[in-house]
A = this chain, B = another copy of it.
Amino acid sequence: MACRSGCCCNSIGSFNEDNARFLMLALLIIIYLLCGAAVFSALEQPKEKLAKERWAQRIEQFTNKYNLSQDDLKNFLRNYEEANVAGIRVDATRARWDFAGAFYFVGTVVSTIGFGMTTPVTIAGKIFLIFYGLIGCAATILFFNLFLERVITVIAFVLKFCHERRESRKAGPTQNCRRPSTDNRDRRTDSLAGWKPSVYCVMLILGVAAILVSCCASAMYSAAEGWDYLDALYFCFVAFSTIGFGDMVSNQREIYEAQVAYRVGNFLFILTGVCCIYSLFNVISIVIKQVLNWLLRRLETPCHC
C-alpha cells in the first residue's frame, strides 16, 4: 500500500512502496551479513590459528630434516600453487581436459557452481569462457525457471486429481493445499486453472524433495569418496545451492569402483539437487517478499491527519 500523499506521517512517506521494500531488504541483508560474519568469525577463528601454527611447525620440521633453504622451499611451494591452478595434485586426479573432464567443467560453468577444480589457463579459453558463459548461464536460468513452472503444474494436477477422486467417493471435499498464489504467468493448461498450489505448499514439497535428494546423494558420496556423512551433506548443500566453494569436489580421483555408474549418478544428483534448491530459493524469496510487505504495512503508522 503506497502512501497517499498528504496523509502520511512516517519516514517512508516520501518513497513509494517498491523503493521502500528494496531499501528495507538491502538493510536487512546487510544486518544479516554482519551477524553471519560475527558468528563465522567466532566459530572458525580458533581453528585458523591452530592450522597456522601446525603448518609453521610442519614447515620447520621439514626444512630441518633435509636442511633445506626456506626461500627455495617457498619457491617450490609457489610452483606447486601454480600447478594446482592447472589442476595438478599430489595424488593422481582424473585428467582435467579430456572430453569427460571438460564436460564436467562446462557443467560447473552454465550452472554457475564453479567449483574451480578445473579452470581455463589459456587466453583463448578465458575469452571463450566469457561468451560461452553468457549464453549458457542464461539458458540454465531459463531451464530452472521452466522446471519450477513444471513442478507447480504437476502439483496442481495432483491436487486436482486427488480432489476429484475424493469428490467421487464422498460429497464434502477438504482442500488443504490448494490456494491461488505463487505467480500468474501465462499458462495454457486450462483444465488446471484455479488449481495453483499455495506458495507454502510448493515450499514444503520442494523442501522435502531437496532433503531427500541431499540425503541420497550424501549416501552415494560418502560411500564413493570416503567422506563423513555430514561432510557429504555439506558438500551437497554447497554444490546444489551453486555456491561451489571447491574445498570438496566429487568425482575427482582417477579411479573409482563402478566408475561409469558413479559419473552418471553424480551428474543426475547434481542436476536434480540444483533444480530443487534453486526452485526452493525462489519460493523462499517469495515468502521473504511477503514478510517484507507485512513489515512495511506494520511500519505504516496510522494517519493522524
Task: Determine the chain B residues whose CB is within 8 A of the CB of A212 once the complex forms.
Answer: none
CB of A261 within 8 A of chain B?
no
Q: What separation, in Å, do the CA atoms of A52 and B97 have in the docked complex?
A: 12
A141 within 8 A of B: yes
Docked Cα-Cα span, A217 to B286, in Å, equals 32
Of B40, B124, B143, the residue contacting A29 (CB under 8 A) is B143
A48: chain B residues within 8 A (beta carbon) = 86-87, 95-97
Chain A, 102-135, CB within 8 A of any chain B CB: 102-103, 105-110, 112-116, 119-130, 132-135
Copies of this chain held together in the complex? 2
Smallest CB gap from A25: residue in B: B143
Residue in B closest to A214 when the chains form the complex, CB atoms: B130
Q: How far is the CA of A43 from the CA of B184 in the complex (A)?
A: 45
A238-B110 in contact (CB<8A): no
| CA–CA, A135 and B245, complex, Å | 18
Q: Are A120 and B40 in contact, CB atoms less than 8 angstroms apart? A: yes
Q: Given A44-B96, A112-B243, A116-B246, are A150 and B34 neighbors across the interface (CB < 8 Å)?
A: no
| Beta-carbon contact of B153 and A18 below 8 Å | yes
Which B residues touch A231, using CB under 8 A?
A: 126
Known contacts A110-B29, A137-B281, A233-B130; is-contact A119 B247 (Cβ 8 Å): yes
Q: A110-B29, A244-B114, A247-B119 are in contact. Are A281 and B38 (CB under 8 A)?
A: no
Complex: A81 Cα to B248 Cα, angstroms: 12
Are A43's CB and B120's CB within 8 A?
yes
Given A143-B26, A233-B130, the answer on whether A110 and B32 have CB atoms closer than 8 Å is: yes
Q: How far is the CA of A8 from the CA of B25 in the complex (A)?
A: 49
Q: A88 near B: Cβ within 8 Å? A: yes
Q: How far is the CA of A200 from the CA of B84 in the complex (A)?
A: 42
A147 in the interface (beta carbon within 8 A):
yes
Is A256 in contact with chain B by the CB < 8 A criterion?
no
The minimal Cβ–Cβ distance linking A179 to chain B, given in whole angstroms, is 17
A-B contact pairs, 25 of them (CB 8 A): A18-B149, A18-B188, A22-B150, A26-B143, A32-B110, A33-B110, A37-B105, A37-B106, A40-B102, A41-B99, A43-B124, A44-B96, A51-B83, A54-B83, A55-B79, A58-B79, A65-B72, A80-B80, A85-B247, A114-B114, A114-B238, A127-B234, A137-B243, A139-B285, A141-B282
Task: Give the top 4 A-B pairs by smallest Cβ distance, nearest first.
Answer: A114-B243, A138-B284, A116-B245, A51-B86
